Amino acid sequence: MIIKSVESRQFAGLRDVKLNFGGGLNVEYGKNEAGKSTVINLLYSLLFREAALDDRRDKDFRAAYFPAERKSGEKGDYIDGRVEFSSGGRDYALYKRWGKGASARCELETEGGIISDPAKIAEILSGEGCLKYGRGIFDGVVFESQKNRERVLKDILDPKKSDLKTDLSETLSRAIDETGGISAEKLKEKINEKIAGLAFRWDEDRDRPEKNRGIDDPWAISAKNGDCVLKAYYELSALVSQRDDVIRYERAEEREAAAKEAFDRFARVYPALQRRGAAAEKAEALKEKLEAYKRALKNWSPAEKKLSKATELKAELDSARAKEICLKIAEYRKNREELLKSASDIGDDEIKQAKRLEKSVAALKGRLSGMNVSAELRLAEGYTASAVSAVDGRKLDLSSETLNEAAVISVDGVMKLLLSPADVDIRSVKAELKRLSLELSELLKKYGAADSDSLSEIYVKSRDAKRGAEAALSAEKALLSGLDYEEIERAAKPQSRRKDEIERELYDLCGGRNPDQFIGSLKSGLEGYAQSYGTAEELKNLCEKAEKELERLESELAGLKDIPSEYEKIPDPEAEYNRLNREFSALSDELRALAYVKDRSSEELGEEIERKSAAFSAKKEELRRWRHISAVLEAELEKSGGKPLAGIEKSFGKNLSILSEQAEVVGFSGESSKLYSRGSEMSAEILSEGTKDTVLLAFRLAVIDSLYPEGGGLCVLDDPFTEMDKERCERACALLKEFSKRHQVIFFTCDEKYEKLLGKIERV
Amino acid sequence: MPKIFLTADNHLGRRYDSHPAREKIAEARLFALKDMISAANGEGCRFFAICGDLFDRVEGIPKKLIKDVCAALSDFSGTVLVLPGNHDYYGEGIKLWKDFEDEAAPLGNIVLLKDCKEYRFDSEDGEIAVYPACCRSKHSRENALGWIKSLGGLSGEGIKIGMAHGAIEGVSPDGEEKYFKMTLRELEDIPVDLWLLGHTHIPYPESLSEDTYTSGHKIFNAGTHVQTDLGCSTEGFGFIIKAEKGEAAAKKYRSGNLFFKRLYIESSPEKSLYDVIFDEIKDFEREKSSIEIKLRGSASREDYSSRGEIYDRISEGFMEFSVDDGELYEQLTERFIKDSFAETSLPARLLTALLDEPAEAQMLYELIKESGDAR
């Protein structure tokens, strides 16, 4: 904020007064009673006192500043004032006329117009940097007053947390980071806006657009983000792509030209190739046909002869075979007959019966045997004995001392002794035995066998004979192979030579092949010829025709020999023609698609690309730099976050050290603060006036600097150095001059010495 | 002995889209061509040889320009030989050359060397044969000398001149080998008396004088006639060559009439910004110069805040003048910060913390000011 002028028609003792001020240091000199303090109060009142006065609240104000009784003339009945100031780049003029009710007036002239609504005026002014910190700060800091001096000093040094310090602390929590034109939050916001704008849809880690969306699928960039890395990237990419297209176009052009040339060259030869191909194909086919004709022609007559001969020999052979068969069959039949004759009807059951009978007989005999009698026969003299078997009547040797079977021992004329096992009824056994023996004997006799074994033999022989007969029958059938014997018999004619001779001749003729197959294939071959060619004569004609045609084709081919060697071996000219045509067309299409770059050159684009590339790098660098700035900001905010008054303490301390090496304030930003002078702690009460002035000045300047770090603050001083010694005064003036480089200082004094000390003076 | 004025790489029709003075630049390039024609006439040259890239490209060259170029060439008293280069390569269907031939035909003195064949010309000193190796594409790994080599011995008694366009090994960069690369040995092995080349924008040989003829060379590349852009480090020349059987002598002709310069200037507050810049540019021919300045460092407060005016003043008369002062900062000192802000204030603390980063201090200071002013 810069106060440009203050004026009044009537305010306390002031009449029609106007003071003009500029930025920086304003030194207003006026003698005592000139109204310097009144001007300060006028200024203060214009800024903070409402125009509409209240009897109680503003009683002192009225008393102090309304016109007093005059020795002569009427006293005035109003007071007013006007202050012109600029703030935030805008000019204002505030007019107030203090009074009660309707007599009060307040108007704010802005660049847009004049506002008279007090609430609106207050709103506008409180929004402006100069007044936004509130009256309290102004009271103690911007505007010094005697009344406030002691209070402020006490507040600075009071060990308990004072209201002033609390206010300052809160204000400075905001204002310590206030730039005067921009808050910390705003600054952060602005930086983040820059970053967000630059980094729009840009993946910094991968150094490419987010989701890799290049110029083929670009992100939309609004005007708001028009200055971003992405845009620079797209512009560069577009040019690079264009240059790539130019290169592709050039290459495609060359390839197209080459393809066209290749195609044209081939196209010139193609008709000849086609004709040649067709002719060659025809000739090839015709050659094959002709070969077949000739083969057929060559083979036809011999084949016929062979067939005739083979047929004849076959018939002869068949007849010989038939004869052979008949003889064989006769033999088989004879053999069969004999075998059948020799076979008997003996069946297997008779064999079993015979064995069973034999076994029974043996068993019976066994029953009668099985004795083991030991006897000694002693005969009286003149007697003889004999023994016969009771089993079979066989004479037994009595000399043996053992009998194993039932026996009848006869002593002539004496006795017959039947010896038998005790439990055998020898009579019944013998009867049975007799019966069975008879049966067996009859059975054996039937077949002329001696026993069951020979009966078995007879059976086997008979069986074999029968089998033999069957085999002979089977052989006969096999030989006939389903043919009728009578037919074969009829076919069998007398042969003049042997079968094997016929066979040999036939097989020689057939070349070792089966005659039937041989004859069959000859027949089918000849039938084929007949079907295909009709007759041999007709085939001959066909041959001649084909030869003529082939000659003609070969002559045509000879005429097409003028084809470049590179095309000689092309198997399929049509396919090659199409391939070349397709290739050429594809390249032409490619060229058409790229035609938009045909009159650009890669060299020209190279220059542009260089520029865009530099611009892209510059944008990325800008982003990187903003990120660094943001990081530095965060670090600084963190540092200052805990102690809002630390900055003031530092400035305060610094200012004090400039003004006085003796004085030192410690702990101002903490719960308590102490003032030391020459190392001894001082309280507000015992400070000298000069030191009080020093402390206050140091403090006020520190606060204003902190509240308006960018400058634009205001400090109004009313002869603040009166109690300072010369040296200190000089230091104070030097400090003030430095301070006034950043802030407006309005310095009222009644001492002309400040003209030298401060370098200027306005006499009012 | 016949004289030849050699030029190439004129790149007429180049657009210079990013240049505000693009029309002046285009005009200057054409004017320089006319100037060379004039010089060639003054020297009594028999031929005005343009070894490729007369035009910047094959597409999009305005017909009016073609007409103007042909009109300029028609002022030459001898024969103009135009060899298509890799930027203005020849092809049957290429409209540029069709229009060119249509314009040139009635003028009578312009020959477009588009075919791989010997071109014969009469001169006071006998017949002169020209063997052109013209470009038929923008890029090629092979040069176009093949047909000349295949001729073996070249017939005729007169002077034989080869004309080609492409990179010269050891002289011009062609890392990808796509610019019709030729070797000096290859050129020397072909039995011509003289080689006229184009493609390399800087002159070869470099040692020719502007005042006197220098002998001992057979291969000549005049370079571009006017500096083409910042990347081109020649001022623009043509060559005047006296041709003889088996030898030649040549001198340079300064044809360049505009210059591109990029200057990196370091500023400090000790010297005024104006002087710092002025010292760097005082010797330039303003109306012919396109200047790009990259300023860095710091300037006094006063200079910094009025730098726009300084640039305006200093740039007067230049064809183009641009300043990138993104790395120029106002000098912020501790003293200044102290004078501007209360010591314990956040701005003071921040700016002090950023004193080692002058760019950032500047950025922050401006933000603070801007926010303060906006109130």
What are the pLDDT digits (tens) for A180-216?
A: 345 677 788 889 999 999 999 999 999 999 999 999 9
Domain count for chain A = 2
Containing structural domain, residue A356: 348-448
In this structure, are B295 and B355 located in the same domain? no
Of B18, B91, B371, the CB nearest to A182: B371
Give the whole-angstrom CA distance, residue B23 versus residue B26. Answer: 5
pLDDT at A409: 87
Q: How far is A592 from chain B (nearest CA, A)?
A: 13
Containing structural domain, residue B287: 258-331
User: Is there a domain that residue A649 lies in?
Assistant: no
Closest residue on chain A to B94 (Cα): A257
Substitution target from A245, A629, A645, A708 for chain B, most B beta carbons within 10 A: A629
DSSP of A197-238:
HHTTTEETTTTEEGGG--TTSPPP--GGGTTSHHHHHHHHHH
Q: How far is B62 from chain A (nearest CA, A)?
A: 11
Residue A675 pLDDT class (50, 70, 90 cuts):
low
pLDDT at A657: 82
pLDDT at B268: 87
User: Is there a domain that residue A444 lies in?
Assistant: yes
In this structure, are B21 and B94 located in the same domain? yes
* Chain-chain contact of A604 with B15 (C-beta, under 8 angstroms): yes
User: Which of B205, B234, B254 is the C-terminal boundary of a domain?
Assistant: B254
* Chain-chain contact of B368 with A191 (C-beta, under 8 angstroms): no
Of A187, A603, A705, the CB nearest to B342: A705
∠ CA B207-B212-B213, nearest 5°, is 70
Of B56, B348, B368, the CB nearest to A182: B368
pLDDT at A181: 44
Q: Which of residues 282-341 of B touch A (CB under 8 A)?
A: 324, 326, 339-341
Decide if pLDDT at A177 tops 50: no
| Type of residue found at B129 | A
pLDDT at A305: 94
* Chain-chain contact of B344 with A650 (C-beta, under 8 angstroms): yes
* Chain-chain contact of B375 with A88 (C-beta, under 8 angstroms): yes
pLDDT tens column, A616-671: 999 999 999 999 999 999 888 877 665 556 667 778 888 888 887 666 665 555 55
Q: Which residues pair with A11 in a beta bridge?
A: A14
* Chain-chain contact of B56 with A601 (C-beta, under 8 angstroms): yes
User: Is there a domain that residue A606 lies in?
Assistant: yes
| Type of residue found at A27 | V
pLDDT at A178: 45
In this structure, are B59 and B134 located in the same domain? yes
Return contacts of A218-224, CB within 8 angstroms, 24+ apart: A224/A197
Decide if pLDDT at A162 tops 80: no
In this structure, are B145 and B177 located in the same domain? yes
Helix H or strand E segment including B196: strand B194-198
Give the whole-angstrom CA distance, residue A673 versus residue A346. Answer: 155
User: Which of A422, A448, A474 is the C-terminal boundary of a domain?
Assistant: A448
Q: Which two tokens stand for residue A753?
A: 């010495």
Q: Which two tokens stand for residue A410?
A: 């006869």
B chain contacts of residue A606, beta-carbon cutoff 8 Å: 231
Q: How far is A71 from chain B (nearest CA, A)?
A: 51
User: Is there a domain that residue A589 lies in?
Assistant: no
* Lowest-confidence segment of A135-144, A186-195, A403-412 by average pLDDT: A135-144
Query: pLDDT tens per residue, chain B (375 residues)?
Result: 899 999 999 999 998 888 999 999 999 999 999 999 999 999 999 999 999 999 999 988 999 999 999 999 999 999 999 999 999 999 888 999 999 999 999 999 999 999 999 999 988 888 899 999 999 988 888 899 999 999 888 878 889 999 999 999 888 877 778 889 999 999 999 999 999 999 999 899 988 999 999 998 999 999 999 998 888 888 899 999 998 887 899 999 999 999 999 999 999 888 999 999 999 999 999 999 999 999 988 888 889 889 999 999 999 999 999 999 988 888 788 888 877 776 667 788 888 889 888 889 989 988 887 776 433
Give the whole-angstrom CA distance, residue B257 versus residue B33. Answer: 10
In this structure, are B214 and B97 located in the same domain? yes
* Lowest-confidence segment of A6-10, A267-271, A564-568 by average pLDDT: A564-568
pLDDT at A644: 53
Give the whole-angstrom CA distance, residue A340 versus residue A465. Answer: 6
pLDDT at B374: 38
Is B71 touching A (CB cutoff 8 A)? Answer: no
Percent of chain A with pLDDT over 90: 33
**Contact between A285 and A451 (Cβ < 8 Å):** no
* Closest alpha carbon to B29 in B68, B85, B62: B68
Alpha helix stretches (DSSP H) within A57-199? 59-65, 118-127, 134-137, 146-157, 163-175, 184-198
Decide if pLDDT at A84 tops 80: yes
Residue A674 pLDDT class (50, 70, 90 cuts):
low
pLDDT at A744: 92
In this structure, are B341 and B310 located in the same domain? no
CA distances from A64 to A11, A39, A41, A60 (A): 10, 13, 10, 6
pLDDT at A566: 83
pLDDT at A133: 62
**Contact between B179 and B144 (Cβ < 8 Å):** no
pLDDT at A179: 39
Can you give the CATH number for the domain in which B20 is found? 3.60.21.10
Closest residue on chain A to B364 (Cα): A629
* Lowest-confidence segment of A17-26, A594-603, B189-198, B229-238 by average pLDDT: A594-603
Is B347 touching A (CB cutoff 8 A)? Answer: yes
B chain contacts of residue A614, beta-carbon cutoff 8 Å: 324
What mean pLDDT do residues A7-20 have?
Answer: 90
pLDDT at A151: 66
Domain count for chain B = 3
In this structure, are B69 and B7 located in the same domain? yes
In this structure, are B100 and B150 located in the same domain? yes
Q: Which two tokens stand for residue A177?
A: 């980071």
pLDDT tens column, A238-289: 999 999 988 888 888 878 888 988 999 899 889 888 888 888 889 999 999 9
User: Which of A589, A618, A641 is the C-terminal boundary of a domain?
Assistant: A641
* Lowest-confidence segment of A108-112, A565-569, B34-38, B88-92 by average pLDDT: A565-569
User: Is there a domain that residue A487 lies in?
Assistant: no
Substitution target from A174, A183, A243, A254 for chain B, most B beta carbons within 10 A: A254
* Closest alpha carbon to B299 in B332, B253, B326: B332
Give the whole-angstrom CA distance, residue B247 versus residue A654. Answer: 88
User: Which of B219, B254, B289 is the C-terminal boundary of a domain?
Assistant: B254
Establish whether this prediction's ipTM goes over 0.90. no
User: Which of B220, B254, B288 is the C-terminal boundary of a domain?
Assistant: B254
Percent of chain A with pLDDT over 70: 87
Give the whole-angstrom CA distance, residue A242 versus residue A249. Answer: 10
Q: Which of residues 174-203 of B touch A (CB under 8 A)?
A: none
In this structure, are B357 and B245 located in the same domain? no
Average pLDDT, chain A: 84
Decide if pLDDT at A545 tops 80: yes
CA distances from A599 to A594, A605, B50, B87, B107 (A): 11, 11, 22, 11, 28
User: Is there a domain that residue A341 lies in?
Assistant: no
* Chain-chain contact of A647 with B344 (C-beta, under 8 angstroms): yes
**Predicted TM-score of the model (pTM):** 0.53
pLDDT at B366: 86
B chain contacts of residue A629, beta-carbon cutoff 8 Å: 350, 354, 360, 363-364
Q: How far is A87 from chain B (nearest CA, A)?
A: 9
Give the whole-angstrom CA distance, residue B317 versus residue B291. Answer: 11
* Chain-chain contact of A632 with B326 (C-beta, under 8 angstroms): no
- Count other C-beta atoms under 10 Å from residue B103's C-beta: 19
Q: Which two tokens stand for residue B161?
A: 């001149």
pLDDT at A353: 92
User: Which of A617, A641, A665 is the C-terminal boundary of a domain?
Assistant: A641
Decide if pLDDT at A81 tops 90: yes
A chain contacts of residue B229, beta-carbon cutoff 8 Å: 603-604, 607
In this structure, are B133 and B13 located in the same domain? yes
User: Is there a domain that residue A559 lies in?
Assistant: no
Q: Which residues pair with A681 in a beta bridge?
A: A676
Closest residue on chain B to A644 (Cα): B344
In this structure, are B20 and B106 located in the same domain? yes
Q: How far is B119 from chain A (nearest CA, A)?
A: 26
In this structure, are B97 and B243 located in the same domain? yes
Q: Give the number of A-B residue pairs with CB atoms closer than 8 Å.
A: 149
Q: Which residues pair with A91 in a beta bridge?
A: A86
pLDDT at A128: 54
